[in-house]
Structure 1
Amino acid sequence: MSVSNIEQEKTLLEELKDACKDVWHEYTHPEFIDQLQDGTLDIEKFRYYLKQDYLYLLHYVRCFALMAFKGESLEEIQFALEGTLWITEGELELHSQYKEWGIEKHELESSEESIECIAYTRYMKDVGASGDYLDLMIAIASCYIGYGEIGQRLLADEKTVLEGNPYKEWIHMYGGEGYQSSTVEFVEKLNSYGNGISHKKLEKLKIIFREVTRLEVAFWDMGMRGDKKIK
């Protein structure tokens, strides 16, 4: 059974975001980003976040590789492989500036993963192992699209402090043309799967999207907590 005419008036992404409006706002407007925006974020908390995000991205790029394996057409395979290149040559490149933050290279890959990082990355991998190409794409989508929204908002907001802000490169990374263009392509590809999708499949995708968005919220909370163990 295909989706109703009302649902078809919305894109697939709109359907997914409408199903978790509260959590999506919490994810894209966290305290961590508020403090990063005005440059007041504690440097030690950012260092910890940077290490955890590096570990996260190593798993994230593996998810794109798994998505390529799941692809049923050359177009799907190429799209997923382009994602692996973007992460390795784009996002992970930002982390190569680790020395500016007082982090030695060996610390990045040898850092202990936080509970939040483990929960998030293993959930994505589980979705990829048990589901299909689209399931995994939705599991990846919250991070990809959400960071694009955050970056775009920060660069457009007159309240954002850039001069003298130690985190301005992070803001430019996700708000800049490169990441924004990549996000547009990702959203277009995601929405292309919305036509004729069954109610059952749509409901499954909504659950996946909400779960990964909740895990994004937890990741920001981890950043604000810093290197403090959960008792």
Structure 2
Amino acid sequence: MLNDKIILITGASSGIGYATALECAKQGAFVYIAGRNSEALQELHLQIEKSSVLAYDITDEVAVKQAFSQIMQNSGKLDGLVNCAGVMLDAGFAMTRLSDLQHQLNTNTVAAYQHAQLATRLMTKQRCGSIVNLCSAVGEQGSVGQSAYATSKAALSGLTKSLSKELGSLGIRVNAVAPGFIDTAMTSSYQGESRQQIVTNSALGRAGQAQEVAHVICFLLSQQASFISGQIIAVDGGLSL
């Protein structure tokens, strides 16, 4: 689906980002794998022949600009961006520190905003491109003990819809996936009764796998989704029903 496409994926060192990098490569893309864990990215690089490592902090404005400058020098274009990097810090509303709220906003929202802005400048030259954001079922529905995380992801949903309207005339599609409970390091703290309660509330009665989200992301990046934009697609096993 992605032959000869050049895709940048943030948060590629683990979880959904990692699975998405592998799936994009499987579908024929050249993949820029980005994140802070250089060692993990190098290990992933060894598995993907057509890939390049970009190790940087996505919340560092200067570092992000330098990463895009490297893409411009190496490839001269960018066909797809996947904003997978994210952080989730649970706490009751009364106990949520503003520093934790800011951290989640910077990582989940502001970083995605800057990446999309810089990616758009490259995509505009070819008047074609696809941006996929990683939103969340929590951002769409809310959740007890996750007000800060929900705020950051709901903002990303608004960004997705707004950019789809603004960039459509340039041939750039903007969509998002909203995963439910996926087995990744981010959800590993949910065990026992708390995990079972979430799983039971989903129509399929199980947790999702990172690869299942990656399949949808790759579809949205591809020309098979050429008339899809501004959508936030739930990949949650029916949790949102």
TM-score (norm 1): 0.28
Larger relative helix fraction:
1
The answer to which structure, 1 or 2, has the higher relative contact order (CA under 8 A, 6+ apart) is: 1
TM-score (norm 2): 0.28
